[in-house]
């Protein structure tokens, strides 16, 4: 076979009919959940000024250090395909002065993100995230709400054994204190660590804990929880109480620091086994300095980003079926040329009245058309012959039972709707 002339770029996917229905279900669940939790959708551009991400994501993250799709446009501007959702949402929040609204701004997004990564199962160059952000409140109740929304999302989808891991990365003074303790622990093992960790050590030692290569070496690392000051400990304790009040289960992971630089206080991840060595399906945290960093007022924020491809992969591995099939309502079959025209008319009437309807366009014999109706899982077939046309009726067959009845043409839509 000849090689295809064009192939999709590495790390991207075609979502074909048959698979796209699962996406619809996942997206619909996310939207419905956000409605119930009172989060409203925000749509921001898929590319932004590169600098936004360098500021917003943190200059020393994996993303900024090597995963970003950057380009210059014809006006010589430095732009980047968004690698994550938060920076763009914060930019929009600031630019549109949403902070001027009296209530907490509770926003969500669903859309593609782009990172130049080595593709493998669960890791792509274009992938999708469902994310939420809540701005303007420091109340630990909102931290717990954000965590619970993600938790309920997995539950609603039927994902099994999702674990919530929780930590506090404190405020700046707590982190500075921890940084010293951590460095004292890390320095002696400097030469045994991977190149990335060696580099991270001086610039942002907390991120060493996030390393995928050296994970196992940090079992005895000091816990950040021991470095939290009064304010941080209090906040953390209250987040836990609110989670307990909802019955959201979690475990404390003092080594959870997350890849992004901007987190303060609450940091959390959702974990589920099922895609090779990858077990993180989503994560988030509080980012009290980020809005200001991006040029807005000093407003706190908290949010999460959840990868949708990973959810679908794990659901498949766990054998969880999403309820997707919404079969065709009716397949119309015409026998003869006059009936053919009437079928065109009826098809349009049905479709305009909300009924999903299909017909043959390949000049196939009745038997082949019935097979087609089967393949489409049509609930009904409606057959119009010349005689019926003269009488102004049509034969409707219920596919599940084989039962047939004759219905007046003008009553077809109503009969099928019932």
Q: Is the CB of 231 or the CB of 316 nearer to ligand ATP? A: 316
Task: Report 18-77 residues binding ligand ATP (CB under 6 A).
Answer: none
Which segment (36-44, 118-126, 356-364, 401-409) binds ligand ATP by CB under 6 A? 118-126
Nearby residues of 160 by Cβ (< 8 Å), 6 or more positions away: 272, 318, 320
From 124-132, 148-156, 221-229, 357-365, give the range in contact with ligand ATP by CB under 6 A. Answer: 124-132
Q: Which residue stretch of 97-105, 171-179, 274-282, 322-330 sits at the interface with ligand ATP (rule: CB under 6 A)?
A: 274-282
Least distance in angstroms from the C-beta of 34 to ligand ATP: 17
Nearer to ligand ATP, 124 or 287 (CB): 124
Q: Which is nearer to ligand ATP, 277 or 401 (CB)?
A: 277
| Residue 272 half-sphere exposure toward CB, CA atoms < 13 A | 27
Distance in angstroms (rounded) separating the CA atoms of residues 28 and 31: 5
- 250-269 binders of ligand ATP (CB under 6 A): 259
Indicate the SS3 state at residue 54.
helix
Q: Is 337 helix (H, G, I), strand (E, B) or coil?
A: helix
Least distance between ligand ATP and beta carbon 178 (Å): 20
In 60-99, which positions are buried (b, 16+ CB within 10 angstroms) versus exposed (e)?
bbbbbeebbbeeeeeeeeebbbbbbbbbbbbbbbbeeebe
142-201 residues in contact with ligand ATP (CB under 6 A) are none
Measured in degrees and rounded to the nearest 5, phi and psi for residue 144 equal -65, -40
Pairing verdict, β 380-384 and 330-334: parallel
- Report, in Å, the least distance between residue 122 CB and ligand ATP: 6
DSSP 133-157: EEES---HHHHHHHHHHHHHHHHHH
Chain positions 339 to 398 lying near ligand ATP, rule: CB under 6 A, are none
* 130 lies in the site for ligand ATP, by CB under 6 A: no
Residue count at the site for ligand ATP (CB under 6 A)? 18
User: 371 and 321 in contact (C-beta within 8 Å)?
Assistant: no
Judged by CB, which is closer to ligand ATP: 53, or 124?
Answer: 124
Interaction between residue 127 and ligand ATP (CB under 6 A): yes
* 294, two tokens: 């991006």
Q: Kindly state the smallest distance separating residue 258's Cβ from ligand ATP, in Å.
A: 6
Identify residues 295-334 at the interface with ligand ATP (CB under 6 A).
305, 307, 309-310
Residues 6+ apart with CB under 8 A from 178: 170, 206, 222, 224, 227
**Per CB under 6 A, 12 contacts ligand ATP:** no
Token pair in block for residue 264: 């303060």
What H or E segment, with its residue span, contains residue 47?
strand 47-49
Q: Is 112 in the site for ligand ATP (CB under 6 A)?
A: no
User: Whole-angstrom Cα distance, residue 146 to residue 150?
Assistant: 7
Closer residue to ligand ATP (CB): 301 or 307: 307
Applying CB under 6 A, does 205 fall inside the site for ligand ATP? no
Select the residue whose beta carbon is closest to ligand ATP and give its number: 307
Residues within the interface to ligand ATP (CB under 6 A):
84, 115, 117, 122-124, 127, 129, 259, 278, 280-283, 305, 307, 309-310
């Amino acid at each position: 076979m000849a090689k295809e002339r064009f192939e999709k770029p590495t790390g991207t996917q075609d979502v074909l009919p048959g698979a796209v229905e699962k996406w619809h279900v996942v997206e619909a669940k996310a939207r419905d959940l956000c409605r119930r939790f009172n989060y409203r959708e925000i749509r921001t551009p898929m590319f932004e000024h590169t600098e936004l991400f360098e500021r917003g994501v943190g200059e020393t993250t994996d993303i900024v250090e090597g995963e970003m799709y950057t380009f210059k446009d014809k006006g010589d501007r430095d732009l980047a395909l968004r690698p994550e959702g938060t920076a763009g949402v914060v930019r929009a929040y600031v630019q549109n002065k949403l902070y001027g609204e009296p209530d907490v701004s509770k926003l969500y997004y669903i859309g593609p993100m782009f990172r130049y990564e080595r593709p493998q199962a669960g890791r792509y160059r274009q992938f999708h995230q469902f994310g939420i952000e809540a701005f303007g409140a420091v109340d630990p109740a909102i931290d717990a709400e954000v965590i619970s929304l993600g938790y309920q999302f997995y539950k609603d989808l039927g994902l099994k054994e999702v674990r919530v891991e929780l930590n506090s990365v404190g405020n700046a003074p707590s982190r500075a204190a921890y940084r010293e303790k951590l460095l004292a622990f890390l320095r002696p093992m400097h030469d045994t660590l991977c190149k990335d960790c060696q580099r991270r050590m001086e610039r942002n030692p907390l991120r060493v804990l996030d390393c995928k290569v050296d994970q196992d070496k940090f079992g005895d690392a000091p816990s950040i929880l021991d470095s939290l000051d009064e304010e941080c400990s209090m906040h953390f304790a209250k987040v836990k109480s609110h989670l307990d009040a909802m019955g959201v289960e979690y475990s404390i992971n003092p080594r959870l620091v997350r890849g992004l630089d901007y987190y303060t206080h609450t940091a959390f991840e959702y974990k589920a086994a099922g895609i090779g060595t990858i077990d993180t399906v989503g994560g988030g945290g509080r980012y009290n300095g980020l809005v200001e960093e991006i040029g807005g007022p000093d407003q706190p924020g908290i949010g999460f980003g959840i990868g949708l491809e990973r959810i679908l992969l794990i659901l498949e591995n766990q054998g969880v079926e999403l309820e997707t099939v919404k079969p065709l309502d009716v397949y119309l079959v015409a026998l003869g040329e006059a009936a053919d025209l009437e079928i065109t008319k009826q098809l349009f009437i049905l479709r305009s009245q909300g009924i999903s309807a299909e017909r043959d366009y390949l000049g196939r014999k009745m038997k082949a058309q019935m097979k087609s109706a089967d393949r489409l899982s049509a609930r009904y077939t409606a057959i119009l012959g010349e005689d019926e046309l003269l009488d102004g009726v049509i034969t409707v067959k219920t596919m599940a039972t084989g039962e047939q009845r004759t219905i007046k043409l003008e009553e077809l839509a109503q009969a099928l709707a019932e």
